[in-house]
Amino acid sequence: MTKHFLEEKVIKCFDTKEMCKGYRNYMKTEHWKYVRARTIDRFKSCQLCSGDEGELHVHHLHYGTLGRECIDSDLQLLYKACHKKVHEQKDKW
């Protein structure tokens, strides 16, 4: 999905029924806050480097399930630096 598509996409949150337009607005929903907290609680540390220090980010492996993510197959817990590396690698593909 392109960045433009994510900015225009209307996203409906499965559990909270919130609706929003665009990925940035989605990141502000109660649904996302809950999913993010559950993901951090589930994995506890970076899944890429297994380290235990740093700012944690929840990374979408794809955007096909926005609003109804499954923690084990749609999301990855990464440190900020590792998250940046993942996106840099994707940009090279």
Q: What is the pLDDT along the chain (93 residues), one digit of tens a residue?
A: 555 567 788 999 999 999 999 999 999 999 999 999 999 999 999 999 977 778 999 999 998 999 999 999 999 999 999 999 998 887 655
Q: What is the pTM of this model?
A: 0.84
DSSP label at residue 48 = T
Angle at 64 between CA 12 and CA 81, to 5 degrees: 105
C-alpha 52/C-alpha 82 separation (Å) is 12
C-alpha 54/C-alpha 59 separation (Å) is 15
Backbone angles phi, psi at 45, to 5 degrees: -145, 170
Q: Give the sign of the dihedral formed by CA 73, CA 23, CA 18, CA 37.
A: positive
